[in-house]
Amino acid sequence: MDHQSSGKGLPENAYRQLKEGEVYQPVVPNDLPLPEATGYSVFWGLIYAVIFSAAAAFLGLKIGQVFEAAIPIAILAVGLSSLMQRKKALSENVIIQSIGASSGVIVAGAIFTIPGLYILNIEASFIQVFLSSLFGGFLGILFLIPFRRYFVKDMHGEFPFPEATATTEVLVAGEAGGKQARILMKALLVGGLYDFAVSGLGLWKEVVSSSVFGWGQKMIDAARLELRVNIGAAVMGLGYIVGLKYALIIACGSFLAWWVILPAIYYIGQFNPEPLLNAVFFFKQKTAYDIFSNYVRHIGIGGIAMAGLIGIIKSRKIIVGAFKLAVQEITGKGENESRKVERTQTDIKMKNVTVLIVSTLLGVFVFFLLLVVNGNMIYALTGLAIVTVIAFLFTTVAARAIAIVGTNPVSGMTLMTLIIASVILVAIGLKGNDGILAALIIGGVVCTALSMAGGFITDLKIGYWLGTTPRTQERYKFLGTLLAAATVGIVIFVLNETFGFGPGGLEAPQASAMAAVLEPLMTGQPAPWLLYIAGIFLAVILEFIGIPPLAFALGMYLPLHLNTPILAGGLIAHFVARSTNDEKLRTARKERGTLIASGFIAGGAIMGALAAFIVYFGQNISGNSDWTLMTAIGTEHWADATGGEILGFIMFAILLAYMYWDSKKAESMSE
């Protein structure tokens, strides 16, 4: 997209595949670096890492809402540098964002798993929570570094990187100012107010369903066939950046899950008096979402796991190359090669990465041995093997998922980890509460590693587009991880002491689900292996016919209401691109649309966090755990009423029309 007129924007070939012989030149030239890791950038990055870790952990555990910190931190960094009139702050802002964004990924890794221990009445100490988050975060960084060049440089233009795109547009527009900044800020305001009106004020329903119409309710009653759409501006903006190709693949996976497999399971289940796949489930009393969560989603999990293995096999040359480079550096055979690596492609030396990986894994082993399995060498070695293999294999899955759709299926991969770990641990004799403790700690380390890998590839892509030194981002990411892990450990420990987790305390919905799956496994009840196997075979078939299995499996794993707005955004991107035959005008319109979509995502992220904070403080001030802004202004019933739901459909149609109309306003602009 052509940002060249600003003099500071992204080059025209930033988002597309390069032609033969073409080279991408980042915003900050290789030979003219800007200040990066200064006292200013490191200080503010660490401040944001602590603040957002505490905030995200509190809110995620109290009201079940984990907000993404990267974009709000980028906006704060840009605003602060502007307020302080700090010149040439672009690379410093990248470092601030990269360090601070450690908060969201560490929080997700911890709160998806660790509170499950308290829910099952198993005590976990601060040091256990801290070390599982710390080692998981370190492994996520280290396992990703050898793949950085492949994902961010070699595959340039292959993946949309929606979240990285939105964050980059925020940083570039803030630095460049002018027309682009105005477009972005207007979209941020429109998208933010729209999403706040939905999720904060309840002026119309956030997730609309075909059940509001007579024909829709009949289809749900007869076959649990339902259309669901999240009408948020942020999710739709994500779809615009993803583009029609991947949006269609994801949506097709979702349509297969919700409109073919789910009705078939419902049809079979309602006439079957016996438990279906070891689950006692009265189908006539359950919603489509219940059937999806208990059955269909497991097919998506199996598909994601197999898609990851397929990706590993296809990337074997890259993996082998990374191993060869590490061996060469360790043995000294590569020292005589006089190849000069550009600053913008300089990573931490593979020799040092290897040493750090070995040191971290040794730390994981000692941690398991002394603090998890009471000195049993076999159990500790088994736990180490599970963490090493699964974290390494699924690192590329997490990175690829983020690159494609901006959503990391970390909960699904962690669930698969818990199942595999439970089967192995029970087989070697570790079961009961001791087995649950070991499995959830293993799951916590893996979950944090995969969450970090997905988040960090976003940071590195931002740095690639803007011209930041990867080695600097990699080094200081460890520092952000350290503070984020300590903060999350303290918050979880304090919240358990103050409120407790589970019924009667903080719900911790993701960890509650993990605990519910894990407990029967540790008592010998079988997992839904047939559904996982179905997902595995489906992924293999998709690979053979040339459809990306990971994107399709993501569609089967994610709820329908999150995939339909992504498809809607992808369609708007397609129509904008096809609105003219003039190549320059098409580029200008796509560029403006990307700025608008980025503003929607940023506005949604900020207002989502704001709404969550308001709910948190409102509940504490009122003493009512059910208090929301909707209850305060009396719209909680309207949002769920027929009128509120129909209005949701109408407002989403207006939002899509606005997106298309505003993107086409680039008609006479040479941006």
Q: Is the pLDDT of residue 335 over 50?
A: no
What is the C-alpha to C-alpha distance for residues 212 and 645, in angstroms, rounded to an integer?
A: 7
Percent of the chain residues past pLDDT 90, beyond the cut: 24
Q: Per-residue pLDDT averaged across 515-530, rounded?
A: 75
Band of residue 418 on the pLDDT scale cut at 50, 70, 90? confident
Q: Per-residue pLDDT averaged across 219-243, rounded?
A: 86
Band of residue 479 on the pLDDT scale cut at 50, 70, 90? very high
Q: Is the pLDDT of residue 469 over 50?
A: yes
Would 13 be classed as within a structural domain? no
Which of the two residues, 369 and 613, has the higher pLDDT score?
Answer: 369
Q: Is the pLDDT of residue 583 over 50?
A: yes
Q: What residues make up the domain containing 617?
A: 34-211+299-668
pLDDT tens readout for residues 157-178 = 888 888 888 888 888 877 766 5
Q: Is the pLDDT of residue 265 over 50?
A: yes
Q: Per-residue pLDDT averaged across 363-384, rounded?
A: 93
Band of residue 135 on the pLDDT scale cut at 50, 70, 90? very high
Split into its structural domains, the chain has a count of 1
Would 12 be classed as within a structural domain? no
Q: Is the pLDDT of residue 7 over 60?
A: no
Within a 13 Å sphere around the CA of 456, how many CA atoms are in the beta-carbon half? 36
Q: Is the pLDDT of residue 134 over 90?
A: yes
Give the per-residue pLDDT at 4.
36
Q: Is the pLDDT of residue 100 over 70?
A: yes
Give the per-residue pLDDT at 506.
65
Q: For residues 379 and 373, is the Cβ–Cβ distance under 8 A?
A: yes
Give the per-residue pLDDT at 617.
76
- Which of 329-338, 344-353, 391-400 has the lowest average pLDDT? 329-338
What is the C-alpha to C-alpha distance for residues 534 and 574, in angstroms, rounded to an integer?
A: 33
User: What residue has token string 């964050």?
Assistant: 167
Would 444 be classed as within a structural domain? yes
Mean of pLDDT over the chain: 83
What is the C-alpha to C-alpha distance for residues 419 and 220, in angstroms, rounded to an integer?
A: 32
pLDDT tens readout for residues 388-397 = 999 988 888 8
Could you give the 3-state DSSP secondary structure of residue 648? helix
Band of residue 577 on the pLDDT scale cut at 50, 70, 90? confident
Give the per-residue pLDDT at 22.
84
- Backbone phi, then psi, for 208, in 5-degree steps? -95, 155
Would 21 be classed as within a structural domain? no
**3 state SS for 520-566:** HHHCCCCCCHHHHHHHHHHHHHHHHCCCCHHHHHHHHHCCHHHHHHH
Which of the two residues, 625 and 38, has the higher pLDDT score?
Answer: 38
Which of the two residues, 347 and 617, has the higher pLDDT score?
Answer: 347
Structure-block tokens of residue 635: 């719209």
What is the C-alpha to C-alpha distance for residues 170 and 191, in angstroms, rounded to an integer?
A: 14
Q: Is the pLDDT of residue 200 over 70?
A: yes
Task: Note the maximum CA span of the chain.
Answer: 75
Q: What angle do CA 523, 527, 532 make, to 5 degrees?
A: 165
Q: Count other Cβ atoms within 10 Å, centred on residue 24.
A: 16
Q: For residues 198 and 529, is the Cβ–Cβ distance under 8 A?
A: no
List the one residue out of 405, 454, 395, 465 whose CA is nearest residue 160. 405
Would 26 be classed as within a structural domain? no
Q: Where are the beta strands (DSSP E) in 77-216?
A: 207-209
Q: Per-residue pLDDT averaged across 67-87, rounded?
A: 80
Give the per-residue pLDDT at 668.
47
- pTM over the 0.75 mark: yes
Would 273 be classed as within a structural domain? no
The alpha-carbon radius of gyration of the chain (Å, integer) is 24
- Backbone phi, then psi, for 229, in 5-degree steps? -140, 125
| DSSP letter (8 states) at residue 13 | T
Alpha helices in 428-525 (DSSP H): 432-466, 470-498, 509-522
Q: Is the pLDDT of residue 203 over 70?
A: yes
- Which of 215-229, 235-249, 269-283, 467-481 has the lowest average pLDDT? 269-283
**What distance lies between CA 64 and its chain's CA centroid?**
16
DSSP of 241-267:
HH-HHHHHHHHHHHHHIIIIIHHHHHH
Q: Per-residue pLDDT averaged across 311-331, rounded?
A: 70
Q: Is the pLDDT of residue 415 over 60?
A: yes
Give the per-residue pLDDT at 5.
33
User: What residue has token string 């007579």?
Assistant: 214
**Element counts in the chain: helices (H) and strands (E):** 29, 2
Listed in sequence order, the residues at least 6 apart from 339 whose beta carbon sits closer than 8 Å to its beta carbon are none
Q: Count other Cβ atoms within 10 Å, centred on residue 494.
A: 14
pLDDT tens readout for residues 204-218 = 888 898 888 888 888
What is the C-alpha to C-alpha distance for residues 137 and 465, in angstroms, rounded to an integer?
A: 24
Q: For residues 420 and 390, is the Cβ–Cβ distance under 8 A?
A: yes
What is the C-alpha to C-alpha distance for residues 391 and 564, in angstroms, rounded to an integer?
A: 30
Within a 13 Å sphere around the CA of 15, how many CA atoms are in the beta-carbon half? 22
Q: Per-residue pLDDT averaged across 574-587, rounded?
A: 85
Structure-block tokens of residue 174: 């803030």
Band of residue 64 on the pLDDT scale cut at 50, 70, 90? low
pLDDT tens readout for residues 540-552 = 999 999 898 888 9
Listed in sequence order, the residues at least 6 apart from 308 whose beta carbon sits closer than 8 Å to its beta carbon are 393, 394, 396, 397, 413, 550
Give the per-residue pLDDT at 2.
38
Q: Is the pLDDT of residue 339 over 70?
A: no
Query: Roughly how many angstroms between the first and final C-alpha of the chain, as a whole number?
Result: 9
Give the per-residue pLDDT at 1.
37
Would 632 be classed as within a structural domain? yes
Would 16 be classed as within a structural domain? no
Phi-psi region of 502 (alpha: psi -120 to 50; beta: other; left: phi over 0): left
In angstroms, the Cα distances linking 548 to 239, 659, 663 are 17, 28, 29
- Among 36-45, 74-83, 312-321, which range has the highest average pLDDT? 36-45
* Residue 180, Cβ density class (10 Å: 0-12 exposed, 13-18 middle, ≥19 buried): buried
Q: Is the pLDDT of residue 379 over 50?
A: yes
Q: Per-residue pLDDT averaged across 576-582, rounded?
A: 86
What is the C-alpha to C-alpha distance for residues 58 and 52, in angstroms, rounded to an integer?
A: 10
Could you give the 3-state DSSP secondary structure of residue 506? strand
What is the C-alpha to C-alpha distance for residues 19 and 17, in angstroms, rounded to an integer?
A: 7
Q: Is the pLDDT of residue 377 over 90?
A: yes
